[in-house]
Structure 1
Amino acid sequence: MPRLRHQPQHRAPGHRCARRRGFVVRKRGKGTFVTDPNTRRKGVQYSFTTEISQLGKTPSSTLVDFAVITPSPKIVTLMGLEPGVKVYRFTRVRNVDGEPLILETSYYPEYIYPNLTRELLETHSFYSLLYHVGVIPFSASDTYEAVVLAPHEAQLLHCAPGSAAFFHQRRTTTENGHTYEYTTSYMRADRVKLDVRFQKGSTSFMRTVD
Structure 2
Amino acid sequence: MEIEKEALIIDELFELLESGTIRPGGKLPSENTLADQYRVPRYTVRNALNHLEERGLIESVQGKGRFLKPGPARIRIPLSGKTSFTEKMGELGRSLETSVVSCEPSDNGEAARILAADPGDPVWRIGRLRVVDGEPIAIHYSHVLQSRFPEIGADGPDIRSMFEYYREHGYGDFKSGKTLLSVVFPSSREQELLRCSRLVPLLALESSCLDGRSGDMLEYTRILYRSDTFKYDISDIQE
Taking structure 1 as the reference length, the TM-score comes to 0.65
* Contact 2:79 2:234 (C-alpha < 8 Å) held by counterparts: no
Contact 1:151 1:161 in 2 (8 A): yes
TM-superposed deviation, 1:118: 5.4
Aligned AA (1:75): A
Structure with higher strand content: 1
Indicate the structure with greater helix content: 2
Q: Structure 1: where are the runs of 5+ without partners?
A: 1-40, 198-203, 206-210
2:7 is matched with none
Distance of aligned partners of 1:123 and 1:165 in 2 relative to their CA distance in 1, 3 Å threshold: closer
Q: Distance in 1 between matches of 2:234 and 2:79?
A: 12
Which residue is equivalent to 1:158? 195
Aligned partner of 1:187 in structure 2 is: 225
Distance 1:42 1:61 in 2: 20
**Unmatched runs of 5 consecutive residues or more in structure 2:** 1-77
Q: Answer yes or no: is 1:48 the counterpart of 2:85.
A: yes
Q: Which residue of 2 aligns with 1:94?
A: 130
Aligned partners of 1:150, 1:70: CA distance in 2, in Å?
17
* CA contact 1:87–1:110 (8 Å) conserved in 2: yes
Match runs of 1:18-97 below 5 Å: 44-67=81-104, 69=105, 71-97=107-133
| CA-CA distance at 1:101 after TM superposition | 0.9
Q: How far 1:130 sits from its partner (Å)?
A: 1.4
Q: Describe the shift of the 1:190–1:128 C-alpha distance in structure 2 as closer, same or farther (beyond 3 A).
A: same
Letter in 2 for 1:96: V
1:122-161 alignment, distance < 5 Å: 122=158, 124-136=160-172, 137-161=174-198
Query: What residue identity is the alignment partner of 1:78?
Result: I
Q: Is the 8 A contact 1:155 1:161 kept in 2?
A: no
Specify the structure having the higher radius of gyration (Cα): 2
Q: Secondary structure at the match of 1:111?
A: coil
Shift of 1:70: 6.2
Partner Cα separation in structure 2 for residue 42 and residue 164 of structure 1: 19
Identity of aligned residues (%): 22
Indicate if the aligned counterparts of 1:65 and 1:92 stay in contact, CA closer than 8 A: yes
Deviations 1:14-70 (A, max 9, x none): xxxxxxxxxxxxxxxxxxxxxxxxxxx995443111111111001121211112x26
CA deviation after TM superposition for structure 1 residue 162, in Å: 0.9
Structure 1 position 177, deviation (Å):
2.8
Does the aligned pair in 1 maintain the 2:96–2:130 contact within 8 Å?
yes
**Quick check: 1:58–1:97 contact (8 Å CA) kept in 2?**
yes
Partner of 2:150: 114
SS in structure 2 of the partner of residue 128 of structure 1: helix
TM-superposed CA distance for 1:120, in Å, is: 6.3
Rounded to whole Å, the distance in 2 between the matches of 1:62 and 1:77 is 27
The 2-side partners of 1:152 and 1:124 are apart by 20
Instruction: Sort the Cα spacing of 1:127 and 1:164 in 2 relative to 1 into closer, same or farther, 3 A.
Output: same
Number of aligned positions between the proteins? 158
Distance 1:124 1:43, change over 3 A: closer
